[in-house]
Structure 1
Amino acid sequence: MKQILSLAAAAMLAAGGALADTAISFSNDWKWEGPSAPLLLALDKGYYADEGLDVTMDTGNGSLEAIPRVASGTYQLGASDINSLIKFRDQNPDLKVTAIFMIYNKPPFAIVGRKSLGVSAPKDLEGRILGAPAPDGAYAQWKAFVKANGIDASKVTIENVGFPVREPMLAQGKVDAITGFSFSSFINLKANGVPEDDISTILMADHGLDLYGNVILVNPEFAARNPEAVKAFLKATVKGFQDTYTDPEAAVKFVMAHNDVAREPVELERLKMAMDQNIFTDEVKANGIGGVDMARLERSIDQIADTYDFTTRPTAAEVFDASFLPDPSERAVP
């Protein structure tokens, strides 16, 4: 009996050691801001290490960047927009990078304007200048937004602007509106001196687009070789989201530890906006953190097809793999 127990203990130690040797590089979609708190909290509180993982996390330069990073295997996991992933999968059928965890159940894609410049509703964009960074996840939804709201796109001047100058240009009146994530552009405009009551946030999800938002992606080869490590990563990530929901004031401090130029009150406001509007929706509170409604995801792919010509339309099951998620009871919102 002692020999059997010893062999079992040795096997457990060996399994733990093998998992501990699993290094994971994670590419975020953007710099470290308030909404990154769940990931950074899980990292710094040792939740990934507790699961036997050696995790490093890097910033990104927009929603589109992480997809090729993960597809190529440079990063094993990353965060990006699922709608951009759907198009990427169609354009690169041999690269099976897959979403495994939903971050933004309600996407923060928005047109952000100024009431003083005449932009308060979708149709107000006609005859005006829209500042839109080419790799911006919100701008990627522009054609679908135009169709859903009956906008004459020929009457809208699109100016390709860089991420760093997007909000300053709107603050200076050089453009009339911009595309962006609602919580980031709103906060950044206030920081550029625009009065809060002059900012109009037109959330695309409230104006005809029933889409999901950012997800965690996994490289398929890595997932096939290390399924338990991927499950362990998501288990730790869920704990980060649960802790953030319970105490956002404490969670945002982990963002501050990774961003020397950030201001805590600003990032806390940004985090709370994302939590309320995008992350902890009624659907998430009912069904658990990280999952999706597959029927809704199918409908969102249909909506993408309204303005995008698929070569081979992917199914929801091909785009999102829920098999790595913890059980729903473990993903409950506290």
Structure 2
Amino acid sequence: MRSLATIFSRRLLAFWLSTLSLAAIPATHADEARPPVAVQFSLDRAIDAVAAPFVMASTRGLFRAEGLNVSTNVASGTRDTITRIASGASDLALADLNALIRYRDGADAAPVKAVFVFLNKAPYAIVARHSRGVSALSSLDGKTIGVADGDLAIRLWPALARRNGIKLANVKQEKISPAVREPMLSAGQLDAVTGFSYLSAVNLRNRGVPADDLAVFRYADYGSVAYGTVVIVNPKFAADRPEAVRSFLRAVTAGMRLAISQPAQAIDDVIAQMDGGSRELERERLRIVMHDNILTDDVKRDGLGGLDPARFEASLGEIAEDFSFRKRPSVADIFDGTFLPDPAGRKID
């Protein structure tokens, strides 16, 4: 009996030693043993410099370091990315927050939420030409604005006009195709167009319109508090893979830091993903989006990715100028900040 007890004790000791040895294996080795989590990510438009943080997160191994295998695809706009997320075709995507708010008000809307604010200020703008007699926002009175199908900026135009004393009836809108927005303005067939400041304004310079002939009226400079593009998540993916969502946002935050600190490398990575992109054009696009839409005073104070409840509430008032809510949403209905990196990790030095 004493011999059996000794054998048992030795085996028990060996078991505990082996258990302790496994526990002592560094976490990185354990992580390497696990297969990466597959993630389907959708951009809302074709890759250009604006997507630099996501491109760098992929090309510089930031997603891989977080244990993710991210496949990126390109959608045909915000409506498409929201549809992909709602259906489960994509796990995470970029979408316009104001469009998401309108979508969520629908009776049959899926409970899609934003988890990271990418563009802290919406890039909505009216781009006009001085040579067409537009030198100030007020001088749009009596002019014609080209509005592309599916344009997001025009939805907040009523709020912008009211705030700045412009009569909507005095500004004519002409529906156009997105493909002819810049060509028609550069040809003088329109007085102005609505769009994004980092798209239309930069593209027009590339078409030969002199910079000093362009008037760019950014909504944010005229009282708009609207947020811009956000990362949205499929509800089931968020529930089943919460750590994967956190990992994705950590990698994107790191990619953002790289794009900020290494803009030349960011452009190299972006150009390699584009078909015939212009380095000079994309360098200017990155400079504009960083200065106007990402590195805002709010971000410098609070860090990347977050959303201020008071500002969100004020932005709902802008949306309501052109939209009738069935039920006015709360911040919690639209934004889930629990996946964000810790505050210290989101600060920009």
TM-score band by shorter chain is over 0.9
The equivalent of 1:213 in structure 2 is 228
Give the structure-1-normalised TM-score: 0.94
CA drift of 1:306 comes to 3.4
Alpha-carbon contact 1:63-1:137 (below 8 Å) kept: no
The equivalent of 1:119 in structure 2 is 134
CA drift of 1:15 comes to 7.5
Cα distance, 1:5–1:312 mapped onto 2, change above 3 Å: same
The equivalent of 1:165 in structure 2 is 180
CA distance in 1, matches of 2:50, 2:295: 12
Alpha-carbon contact 2:149-2:178 (below 8 Å) kept: no
> 1:91 corresponds to which letter in structure 2?
G
In terms of mean alpha carbon deviation, does 51-60 or 258-267 score higher? 51-60
> 1:210 corresponds to which letter in structure 2?
V
CA drift of 1:140 comes to 2.5
The equivalent of 1:88 in structure 2 is 103
The correspondence for 1:40, drawn from 46, 52, 55, is: 55
The correspondence for 2:42, drawn from 27, 37, 62, is: 27
Cα distance, 1:14–1:317 mapped onto 2, change above 3 Å: farther
The equivalent of 1:224 in structure 2 is 239
Alpha-carbon contact 2:198-2:289 (below 8 Å) kept: yes
CA drift of 1:270 comes to 0.5
Cα distance, 1:306–1:92 mapped onto 2, change above 3 Å: same
CA distance in 2, matches of 1:179, 1:318: 29
Alpha-carbon contact 2:43-2:73 (below 8 Å) kept: yes
What per-residue deviation string (whole Å, max 9, x for no partner) do you get for residues 267-311 of structure 1?
011101110111011211111111121221122123322332100
> What does 1:137-286 correspond to in 2, within 5 Å?
137-286=152-301
CA distance in 1, matches of 2:24, 2:236: 30
Question: 5+ residue gaps in structure 1?
Answer: none
Alpha-carbon contact 2:182-2:200 (below 8 Å) kept: yes
> What does 1:287-302 correspond to in 2, within 5 Å?
287-302=302-317
Alpha-carbon contact 2:78-2:96 (below 8 Å) kept: yes
Secondary structure (helix, strand or coil) at the match of 1:91 reads: coil
In terms of mean alpha carbon deviation, does 298-307 or 127-136 score higher? 298-307
CA distance in 1, matches of 2:266, 2:75: 21
Cα distance, 1:224–1:10 mapped onto 2, change above 3 Å: farther
1:104 and 2:107 aligned: no
Q: Structure 1 vs Structure 2: percent identity of aligned residues?
A: 41
CA drift of 1:139 comes to 2.2
Cα distance, 1:21–1:246 mapped onto 2, change above 3 Å: closer
> 2:60 corresponds to which letter in structure 1?
K
Cα distance, 1:13–1:36 mapped onto 2, change above 3 Å: closer
The equivalent of 1:309 in structure 2 is 324
CA drift of 1:98 comes to 0.6
| Larger Rg computed on CA atoms | 2
CA distance in 2, matches of 1:227, 1:322: 12
Secondary structure (helix, strand or coil) at the match of 1:160 reads: strand
CA distance in 2, matches of 1:200, 1:60: 30
Cα distance, 1:14–1:160 mapped onto 2, change above 3 Å: farther
Secondary structure (helix, strand or coil) at the match of 1:180 reads: strand
Alpha-carbon contact 1:62-1:137 (below 8 Å) kept: no
CA drift of 1:151 comes to 2.3
What per-residue deviation string (whole Å, max 9, x for no partner) do you get for residues 221-276 of structure 1?
11011100000000000000011111111111111111021111110111011101
CA distance in 2, matches of 1:19, 1:189: 49
In terms of mean alpha carbon deviation, does 31-40 or 87-96 score higher? 87-96
CA distance in 1, matches of 2:76, 2:322: 25
CA distance in 1, matches of 2:93, 2:107: 18
CA distance in 2, matches of 1:179, 1:78: 24
Question: 5+ residue gaps in structure 2?
Answer: 1-15
> What does 1:9-28 correspond to in 2, within 5 Å?
16=31, 20-28=35-43
CA distance in 2, matches of 1:18, 1:65: 36
What per-residue deviation string (whole Å, max 9, x for no partner) do you get for residues 147-180 of structure 1?
2223222232222222222111100011111111
What per-residue deviation string (whole Å, max 9, x for no partner) do you get for residues 171-210 of structure 1?
0011111111101111111111111000000001111211
